[in-house]
Amino acid sequence: MTRSRRAEVRRRRRASWRRALGMCVVPLAVLAGVAGVAALATVPDLVDEVRAFRAARPCVLPASAPADCLHTYPATVRGKVIENEGRSQLYLLKLDGPPPVPAELDMGDEEPLLTRLHKGDHVTVTVWRDYTTAVTKDGATQESGDTPDGLPEIQTAAGLDLLAVGGYGGYAGVMAVRHARQRSLPRSVAMWGRWTMGAVLASVPAGIVGYETGTGPVVVTLLWLVLLPVVWLVVEHQERRRPRRSHRKPGPPPPRTADRGTWLRYLQGHDA
């Protein structure tokens, strides 16, 4: 097989793999977009749940109390795990008690109560719907990490991320199919990929601000949209600084004794 024939076989093989990859990416991108829409569609229900939780009051008569009041159950401390070294942070309280008291509860922090609890201590656990929201002992109460607070903001950020990834995945998959036989994909594929990564990263501060301020998913979305132009400017700046292949100084030509395939590869690289 001649060198040109082998090069043609490699090009066809590369085109087939690229086309197959693009056809696999497109349906995955559609699924990501649908998941993003579904995640955002559940945000209003989460907002209503947070409002109901914040309006809940202790049950007066537990036997006939409504489901949305704060139920209390006795429990016994079975143990605890506190890890706060470096990136490893774990504040786990192990409990024994009647249902719905959980076997393990994430307390979110070691203060003000977790460090004072020991095996065998009797505590009171507060339960709202399916959430174990707080632990009390001797008048001291610590809220747990098992509450609906922050879920709307987290869900909004996740939905926006899925929409961005789905949109880029669909675009990249289509471009991979359309330009399967070319030596490389258009530069816009890489540029939009960097923009998508920046958009995903931008949802992190937007979600944190919404969670810490308690302003809700609307502020998360607005802040994310405000950060998108900043991300675009950063990507554009990096793209302008990136040297283009046409601006690169070509290497020395091959010797005159080189074969025809070598000269063709040199000319192709020089014209690209």
Instruction: Check residue 162 and give its pLDDT.
Output: 93
Write down the residue that tokens 């559940």 correspond to: 42
Instruction: Check residue 250 and give its pLDDT.
Output: 53
pLDDT tens-place string over residues 56-102:
888 876 555 566 789 889 999 998 888 887 677 888 899 998 888 89
Instruction: Check residue 23 and give its pLDDT.
Output: 84
pLDDT tens-place string over residues 154-173:
999 999 999 999 998 888 88
Residue type, 9: V
Q: Is 177 left (phi over 0), alpha (psi -120 to 50) or beta?
A: alpha
pLDDT score of 272 more than 50: no
Residue type, 7: A
Residue spans per domain, the chain: 3-44+150-243, 56-143
Instruction: Check residue 3 and give its pLDDT.
Output: 64
How far, in Å, CA of 42 to CA of 203, rounded?
Answer: 18
Neighbouring C-beta atoms of residue 157, cutoff 10 Å = 25
Instruction: Check residue 12 and give its pLDDT.
Output: 73
Residues 6+ apart with CB under 8 A from 259: 3
pLDDT score of 37 more than 80: yes
32, 44 Cβ separation under 8 angstroms: no
How far, in Å, CA of 216 to CA of 195, rounded?
Answer: 25
pLDDT tens-place string over residues 175-233:
887 776 777 777 778 888 888 898 999 888 888 888 877 778 888 999 999 998 888 88
Confidence of residue 246 (pLDDT cuts 50, 70, 90): very low
Q: What is the mean pLDDT of the chain?
A: 81
pLDDT tens-place string over residues 123-142:
999 999 889 999 999 888 99
Q: Model pTM greater than 0.75?
A: no
Residue type, 60: V
Instruction: Check residue 65 and give its pLDDT.
Output: 55
